[in-house]
Structure 1
Amino acid sequence: MSSESPKTGAPVFTMSLMVTGNLLGAGILALPINFGPAGLYPTLFGIVLVWALMLYTAFVLAAQPDLACGETGGLPSFFGAKLGQGAKWLAVAADLVIFYGVLTAYLTGTTTILVNLFHLPIGRMAVTVCYFVVAAGLASFGMGLLRRCNAAILLGMTVTFLALIVMLAGHMDIARAGHMRFGFMPAALPVALTAFLFHNLIPTLCREMRGDVAAMRRSILYGSLLGLVMNLVWVTAVFCTLPMESPKATSILGAFAHNLPATVPLSILLGSQLFQDVGLVFAILAMTAAFLANGVALQGFLLDLTDTCLGLRNTVVTWLLAFMPPLVVSMVYPDIFLVVMNLVGGVGICLLFGILPALLAYRQGLGGKKTLAAVAILLFGLILGFEVAQEFGLTHILPDTEYWHHFRE
């Protein structure tokens, strides 16, 4: 018997829950609406495809010993060491797009839900500032607070999610899921990428699990599978409950046109105070937990970046750099929720957690592994190209509402 002691890292179950908690955020609220014009079955296909792509790149990163040993200064430095300095600064830019984009999405998404569902005595801008003060203030306490609250937040999200599905069950009609328009699916794939974003957690997984690649991959698989199931159940429930079109603000296309999270039209349609309250708790928990995790990570990232580039290591300056830009953008562009989710997924995530890991796998792989990496690069490249074309006005996604006429209720 070998005398070498086995690796005894963190339990797979615990790490799986961390993965699930990290990928549940604004993405799950945006998925049904952003995929809306495509219909349910193209949506399910697109979500599974994106899950498989993100799982593949997560496996690639989890197998890198440098991340487990903590020999790099974060993912940008890691990619710089593996793929060159150009890859490092590309990763820095992509990371900033992700961080600033998701914080802006959480601010605008939360504000949109509160303003559309409640008759508040204050204006929209004041609501944004109030939520910002609470969320950014909590993020100032660092990872210690997040670790202590993570289990409670995930439990609350699970309970409220199940409650929402149960309350929707009596209003579902499978006939609403009959329409399909695959041509609209590519436009929603960037938001699907945001719904499976947990890759910033991988360096932490590597360290906590002491470089045990098999255990890390099981944690990633189980955690992301749970997230996949929740996303599939949620979009199915929404598509079977909301009509595609409606004269009221209770349709999928109406929410799509007004950049609304799915809980807003559902609450209006059901007219249930209980559903509205539970939906609010679920949305606030999901977006606040994600805001805290990304806010803490962005502060650390900017602290290292300003120290390296400017020789400045000031926590107050770092806090201002981290949180003031999202606040300003949220106040100037309050209806930017779905737009910014597309940008984060189609550009930031696609580059940092799609193309760069796949390119690394291509360089390290042989035979079939190299072919698989090439396919991943191609698919992520197509998503990136489509999103860039949209941002520059080269493509326009305007659903033909007459097509849906016979589904109107």
Structure 2
Amino acid sequence: MTEKPSLLGGACIIASVCVGAGMLGLPSAGAGAWTFWSMLAITVTMLIMTASGWMLLEAFKHYDLRVSFNTVTKDMLGDKVNMFNSLMVYFVGGILLYAYITSSGLILQDMLGINSKAASILFVAVFSLFVWHSTRVVDRVSVMLIAFMVLSFTFGISGLATNVNTSLLLDAVNPEGRYAPYAMAMLPVALTSFGYHHSVSSMRAYYGEERRAQHAIFGGTVIALGLYFLWLVSIFGNLPRESFGSVIEQGGNVDALLMALDSVIESQSVERAINAFSMAAILSSFIGVGLGVFDFLADLFCFGNDKKGRTKTWFVTFIPPLVLSLLYPFGFVMAIGYAGAAATVWACIIPGLLVMKSRSKEKGKEGFVAPGGATMVGVVMLFGVLTAVFHFMAMANMLPLFSG
């Protein structure tokens, strides 16, 4: 008898998909909302994104275990909706690669003492080769990077956590401060930090049924939420709220956040651990997202899996975001915000439409049904629409923006 995969294993897969470089944007995105409202925003986002993943599970239940997100969307909602959904999937992947390339260049600039644009080119030239070579190489490198991230995160966080200043954490010097209005603009970055939905079909295939996949998804998002809480408490408990002004001025770029932290961290070993974690998080996310976009474009353009075909796919995957990064570098948080606004399509709106379509069929009520009924479907879709609206309102200066 084959042993069933553990729920903890599946939960860790979902958590690792969620926790990447996106978490590096959370402190800057949440500086205005600060501790309580930032935690509330990411908790609400986690609950909504967990529910939307369960809705995908429900929509997939009458299909083969190896079915893809695109196949179900095309079959249930038609070619046009699927084409738009695929475009949003590509946009999110592309803009995340753009953000990682820009940030890596800025961090390597300080580490290697070279121009940031040259550093970005070097980063892509070296690390995109893992994706070009094979999925197996990405798998092996990812395991090493995740192990390294865990060690550096644990060491860095333990150093920060022991020095948490409660008055900074509660922003005691600003007793009449406004926090709640800033939480709205944070939602797109929070949504990006729980973007695991392309892995839902993998979880269903992994367990061979929906119920255990449901528990693994919930476990994974809870683990991610716990890590985000720990990260925010450690940062907000060491770095005064007004110090984020200079970070936000530079677009919330990771190197600016690290420089601000360097000024308040007394231990060089903790400083090095945080810097190492940040670089590993960006690299891990870069090759993970890069592989997803690479496979998506290879399928879209029908490129072969030989060296010539993979080189063509490499070119269309990595060169456009690299060129954009060199020509129009802008903030890390801003880029992730755009990704979050676009991700609302396939993380909230499409799951809601799919589950409504599934429930309208005769066999829709058989088997796994996501909890919450029609009300939860409405809540998930409304959350997606509002998150996108809040992002564009923030871009148009129609929401209060924290400047330190």
TM-score (norm: length of structure 2) = 0.87
| 14, 17, 24: which one aligns with 1:22 | 17
- In the alignment, structure 1 residue 243 sits paired with structure 2 residue 237: no
What is the aligned partner in structure 2 of residue 154 from structure 1? 146
C-alpha distance in structure 2 between counterparts of 1:76 and 1:271, whole Å: 50
Identity percentage of aligned residues: 21
| 305, 309, 328: which one aligns with 1:333 | 328
- In the alignment, structure 1 residue 127 sits paired with structure 2 residue 122: no
Flag structure 1 segments of 5+ consecutive residues without an equivalent. 246-250, 402-409
- In the alignment, structure 1 residue 399 sits paired with structure 2 residue 390: no
| 169, 176, 191: which one aligns with 1:177 | 169
C-alpha distance in structure 1 between counterparts of 2:249 and 2:63, whole Å: 42
C-alpha distance in structure 2 between counterparts of 1:169 and 1:8, whole Å: 39
| 337, 346, 352: which one aligns with 2:346 | 352
C-alpha distance in structure 1 between counterparts of 2:119 and 2:271, whole Å: 18
Question: How many residue pairs end up in the alignment?
Answer: 380
Amino acid at match of 2:22: G
SS of equivalent residue, structure 2 residue 102 = helix
- In the alignment, structure 1 residue 205 sits paired with structure 2 residue 203: yes
**Shift, 1:260, TM fit:** 2.4
The residue correspondences of 1:5-404 to structure 2 (distance < 5 A) are: 10-63=5-58, 64-65=60-61, 68-71=64-67, 74-115=68-109, 117-118=110-111, 120-179=112-171, 180-210=178-208, 212-245=209-242, 251-258=243-250, 259-261=252-254, 262-270=257-265, 272-307=267-302, 314-347=309-342, 349-365=343-359, 368-391=372-395, 393=396, 395=398, 397-399=400-402, 401=404
Change (3 A) 1:364 1:394: farther
Deviation per CA, 1:268-318, whole angstroms, max 9, x where unpaired?
32254322321222112212112112111111111111139xxxx933221
Change (3 A) 1:277 1:400: closer
C-alpha distance in structure 1 between counterparts of 2:400 and 2:318, whole Å: 32
Deviation per CA, 1:29-54, whole angstroms, max 9, x where unpaired?
11011110112111000010111111
**Equivalent pair of 1:41/1:177 in contact (CA under 8 Å):** no
Change (3 A) 1:163 1:192: same
Change (3 A) 1:53 1:278: same
SS of equivalent residue, structure 1 residue 295 = helix
C-alpha distance in structure 1 between counterparts of 2:201 and 2:336, whole Å: 24
**Equivalent pair of 1:187/1:386 in contact (CA under 8 Å):** yes
Amino acid at match of 1:304: D
SS of equivalent residue, structure 2 residue 401 = coil
What is the Cα-based RMSD across aligned positions, in Å? 2.3
**Equivalent pair of 2:203/2:213 in contact (CA under 8 Å):** yes
**Equivalent pair of 2:187/2:387 in contact (CA under 8 Å):** yes
**Equivalent pair of 2:131/2:287 in contact (CA under 8 Å):** yes
**Shift, 1:81, TM fit:** 1.2
C-alpha distance in structure 1 between counterparts of 2:196 and 2:152, whole Å: 21
**Shift, 1:255, TM fit:** 1.1
C-alpha distance in structure 2 between counterparts of 1:257 and 1:186, whole Å: 19
**Shift, 1:104, TM fit:** 1.1
**Equivalent pair of 1:174/1:240 in contact (CA under 8 Å):** yes
C-alpha distance in structure 2 between counterparts of 1:127 and 1:58, whole Å: 37
**Equivalent pair of 1:67/1:203 in contact (CA under 8 Å):** no
